[in-house]
Amino acid sequence: MTILARILLENLGHIKTCKPTSSSLNNIFTGNIPVVDLSDHTVAKTLIVNACKEFGFFKVINHGISMDLSNKLEAESVKFFKLPKQEKEKSGPPNPFGYGNRNIGPSGDTGLVEYLLMSVVNEYVLAVRNVACEVLEMIAEELHLQARDTLSSLIRDEKSDSCFRLNYYPPCPGLRALSNAQSLIGFGEHTDPQIISVLRSNEVSGFQICLKDGAWVSIPPDPTSFFLNVGDSLQVMTNGRFKSVRHRVLAADTLKSRVSMIYFGGPPLNEKITPLSSVMEEGEESLYKEYTWSDYKNSAYKTKLGDDRLTNFQKPFAQ
């Protein structure tokens, strides 16, 4: 038995597993997850809004972000994660920013993942934020919001509570044999609490989203493109029209590590989150209580990953 195999077996009691279903890692989704060409705004904004309603998730191409920049950051990330454990731990713990290993948040969630959580704004993060803002401005146009920057201004704000995260999932050759046909959870199912998230990964599979019918499907990786997730806050601001997508990462049976880079676009801590009046139809009731991003953030990060974090913020008649 290899050293890696022994390590996996020793930690199966601490790392959660997922029983195989009809939508297991082998079931690569071939449905109509929208691919949005950002070079054509007229078509893109309609596709984006439809995707946010149906999936809470879509892929963008022609985004204008240099692949050299993305590849350089990925390479530097891999160098860091391959350092000895004691060296990496000098950058931790993630409270709120820094290096973390297996433990995800303060509520006991674990996964086969190492990560860096940062608030820095470098060239890559600035470029990805611009894509997020471009998308949010197209959403504002399509929804006929009062101003084109109604949403984007929240993450362009100098007090924006946005952050950047690097996730590293170690290679797991022979995984299926070790775990008795179960899949190890790299990062457990959850929704993102922020407004919008922008994800880019290398060519290693593992990322899954949950469809409306509850089926989990795997999204083929594409290092040249970016995937965008609707967050809880955007679901609230559209009064439930957009759906915050539930997603997870399963460890892949591969010789190569999975590296993902995620930008989470969040509003300022004191920003009030509530359904936008310009979205609501005449006589439409708000499904959610008004709260600040700080209130929701504090509540969300005290829950388990898989909890429905918005339940406590729904109005009684909407539950």
Marked catalytic residue, from 200, 246, 258, 309: 258
What ranges in 55-192 are assigned the alpha helix state H?
67-81, 85-88, 123-142, 152-156, 175-178
Euclidean distance between CA atoms 64 and 16, whole angstroms: 38
Which letter, b or e, does each residue of 258-294 get, where b requires 16 or more Cβ atoms within 10 Å of its Cβ? Answer: bbbbbbbbbbbeebebebbeebeeeeeebbbeebbbe
Q: Among 252, 195, 271, 257, which residue's Cα sits nearest to residue 229?
A: 195
258 is an active site residue: yes
Residue type, position 193, single letter: P
Q: Among 159, 11, 193, 161, which residue's Cα sits nearest to residue 97?
A: 161
For residues 162 and 264, is the Cβ–Cβ distance under 8 A?
A: yes
Joined tokens for residue 115: 């990560």
79 SS3 class = helix
190 SS3 class = strand
Q: Which residues pair with residue 61 across a beta bridge?
A: 37
- The residue count for the chain: 319
Joined tokens for residue 280: 């609501």
Euclidean distance between CA atoms 40 and 193, whole angstroms: 29
Task: Give the residue numbers annotated as catalytic, written as ranges.
Answer: 258
